[in-house]
Amino acid sequence: MDSVKIGKYIAYKRKQKGMTQQELADILMMTNKAISKWETGGGIPDVSILKDLAKALDVTVDELLDGQDNEEHVIREEKTYQMFHVDKSLYKQFMNNLYYQKRIILMIVLICGSLLITGGYAIYSINKYIGRYMDIIGFIISGLGLILILLPILFKKVKYASFQEFDARYTYDEYGIVYSGVHGESKYFYTDIHQVVLGDSFTILRVGRNLLFIDTQDYTSIKPYMQCTQNHIVESYDKYKWSIMIILSICMTQLGCIEIGYQFILKRLGFEYIFNAFEATVIMMIIIFIALMFMINKVKMNKKYILILMISSISVIGLTFIISDMLSNHKTIYSFSPNLSSQLVMKQNKETGKLQDYHYTFLCFGKKSNEMSANRDLDIETKWITSDCNLVTYYDIDGQQKVYVATYGDRGNGISYYNVVGSMRGNWQTYNRGDNLYEVTVENGTVTVEEDGKETVFSPQEVEQNGTIAITLYKGSKAKYIIVINEGSTLDENYLINKDGHMTIISVENKIPIELFCTTYKEDSQVQANIDSEMREQAVHLVEKMQQIIKDDPTLKSYESTQSIFKVKSNSDDYFEVAKEAYLAEQRLYTDSSFTEEGQIEKITVHAGSIQDFFVGLEVGIEIENKSTGESEKSGLIPDYRIMKAEDGYLVARITYRVPGDVGLASLSTPLEKDVSKDNHYHYTK
């Protein structure tokens, strides 16, 4: 007899039975040292215990002495083992059931994650109101919320993807089950099984982290020995029901937080719902969601009735909004920008027509900003010029067209600036050849717009700044054009639009936005040379035109002044006196009863020519006051003039930026300068 072979056979059969050496020793009423001695080949069992040992290991004495199973035992053993193929579909059913059992925890996790996302977005949005770093904090909080929501889904996906199909082989008796799967063969006693999951054609026995998949028919044989909890695989209805319950819970929680936040925080800060009907609608939605959760949880309904219930609820919510909006005394004008980055919110009182801008928006709330008197019977039109600038056209009580420009951004890399028209300084032209032809010149606060050959000059008093990105050009009380600095355009160190920046001009009459590019700040030498050549041609044409006017009418008595060329009645031969009179004459061309202006000419410089024909520049400090609001603004002008002497006065032309005003004149070796900043003679009021 081979003691080593017998020892290995004893060890194999003991492990197959799921017994330890001590358990086998207890059956034979021996010590575990004797068992260990046999299994290592240090000895063989005594003849007196062979029958008891063979019975304990469920073998014959001959098999024990031979150290191997005989053919009859092998056949019998093969017949008692069951085979069961475990594919991914079975594992997926188990994972779905596991998530269903933890549905309350899953619901809490998803609700918390959704609250973190919306809370983070709220903090991110409030950054522009309360200070910096809130956007970063909000982004982090929203990110954590997204991770919290995705974590259960990712965990399920990873577990499912890593699962490998296998063939299970098992046998069982009254004590336990011998199971061979992905982790090899092991004996599991029924007392170790803590949960049974029952499917239609399979059953899962859970032992710690191990999952034992067996045929349901085999489970009926061992069921009497089970003392643990038994759960059935969740039905499709229950899965759909709890999916709907989770969605309703999240929505109800979000709406509840919105309403509580509005009542206790936002209302005190002056915020209102964008639509007045929102508040009643939110409360109705909370009530409906609670009712739906109760009904779905208590009453078993098929998908058809659940769908009908959902459609009915949506209809009730929509009807609530419509009725509430009809009963509200305000009408909301609402519009999203094309890229959804900005939103226009305005409310009009249905009785008085008063129009209120809610410039500051936060989630579904807005805060009052500017107020206008509008005609309630006439439509209000809105037009996005850029993604953060909207042109609102409305009518006053008398039916006169008015405009309001709502802006929501800046072009100063997060830093607002005060003089938008100053930042637009230069010459601008139509960007696309297919558009209406525009040429815009901005210099010293004056804006000249040439549209299809027709030129209009707007003095500083006729320019209104809108926020920090746009201006409105007026003639009298009527708005003519709006010019906006385009997105992507930035300011250089001198607060001028960079050379690659663009602007958009829109006529209030046709409301067609046209993009403009700057011809002043291009670095290309050929472009610069072409521009210089064009500017010189303009200067030559201007001088020839002035000379022809004086030739045709030497006294200028019949000449009607224009905004570009005007006459000055003066017999003085003093450069500085004539320059002062020229500036005051230009100012008299622009009148606006809604503003008062006080100014001081500070410096006069004669660059070229003689008293008969000279080129002069001024530096002027002005202060403009709005009579209706009492607000005042200080600014400065640097106008240049070409002045020619006539028989009974002078003819003056305003020289725009980059046009050479000294063309045809002899330059002075030393310019004539005069500081008149303290001279009251050069002070004026209008």
Distance CA 654, CA 561 (A): 12
**pLDDT computed for residue 528 by the predictor:** 64
361 beta partners: 366
Q: Which residues have a Cβ under 8 Å from the Cβ of 580 and sit 6 or more positions away?
A: 601, 604, 681, 682
Distance CA 114, CA 101 (A): 21
**pLDDT computed for residue 584 by the predictor:** 93
Residue spans of alpha helices (H) in 262-399:
277-298, 303-327
Using CB atoms within 10 A of its CB, is residue 417 exposed (0-12), middle (13-18) or buried (19+)?
middle
**pLDDT computed for residue 326 by the predictor:** 92
Token pair of 283 as six digits: 């409360």
Placement of tokens 């259960």 in the chain: 152
Residue spans of alpha helices (H) in 447-554:
525-552
Number of alpha carbons in the 13 Å side-chain half-sphere of residue 44: 15
Residue among 58, 60, 15 at smallest CA distance from 39: 15
Contact (Cβ atoms closer than 8 angstroms) between residue 421 and residue 485: no
Distance CA 498, CA 208 (A): 69
Cβ atoms < 10 Å from Cβ of 282: 21
Could you say which DSSP state residue 491 is in?
Answer: B
The sign of the dihedral angle between the CA atoms of 183, 188, 193, 196 is positive
pLDDT digits (tens, 9 = 90+) for 175-225: 788 888 877 888 888 888 989 998 878 899 998 888 999 988 888 888 888
DSSP 3-state assignment of 673? strand
Token pair of 685 as six digits: 């009021």
For helices 134-162 and 88-101, angle between their N-to-C axes, nearest 10 degrees: 140
Distance CA 562, CA 227 (A): 105
The amino acid at 140: I
Contact (Cβ atoms closer than 8 angstroms) between residue 279 and residue 273: yes
DSSP 3-state assignment of 363? coil
- Provide the pairing of β-strand 229-232 with 195-198: parallel
Distance CA 172, CA 50 (A): 25
Q: How far is CA 504 from CA 74, 516, 620, 659, in A?
A: 91, 6, 29, 23
Angle, CA 146 vertex, CA 140 and CA 149 arms, to 5°:
145
Fold of the 3-80 domain: 434 Repressor (Amino-terminal Domain) (1.10.260)
Q: Which residues have a Cβ under 8 Å from the Cβ of 440 and sit 6 or more positions away?
A: 427, 428, 429, 447, 448, 449, 450, 483, 503, 505, 516
Beta strands in 52-131 (DSSP E): 82-86
Distance CA 7, CA 22 (A): 16
For helices 88-101 and 236-261, angle between their N-to-C axes, nearest 10 degrees: 40
Contact (Cβ atoms closer than 8 angstroms) between residue 296 and residue 340: no
For helices 236-261 and 277-298, angle between their N-to-C axes, nearest 10 degrees: 150
Distance CA 445, CA 623 (A): 13
DSSP 3-state assignment of 409? coil
Distance CA 608, CA 614 (A): 6
Separation of CA 14 from chain center: 67
Token pair of 668 as six digits: 């002075």
Q: Residue 255: enclosing H or E segment and its boundaries?
A: helix 236-261
Contact (Cβ atoms closer than 8 angstroms) between residue 475 and residue 451: no
Residue among 121, 138, 8, 117 at smallest CA distance from 67: 8
**pLDDT computed for residue 416 by the predictor:** 46
- Provide the pairing of β-strand 463-466 with 470-475: antiparallel
**pLDDT computed for residue 80 by the predictor:** 59
Cβ atoms < 10 Å from Cβ of 352: 12
Contact (Cβ atoms closer than 8 angstroms) between residue 385 and residue 484: yes
Give the predicted TM-score (pTM) of the model.
0.55
- Where the chain has pLDDT below 50, the residues are 74-79, 414-416, 522
Residue among 120, 122, 364, 149 at smallest CA distance from 246: 149
Residues in the chain: 686
Residue among 667, 663, 668 at smallest CA distance from 534: 663
For 292-324, letters b (16+ CB in 10 Å) and e give bbeebeeeeeeeeebeebeeebeeebeebbeeb
197 beta partners: 204, 231
Could you say which DSSP state residue 262 is in?
Answer: I
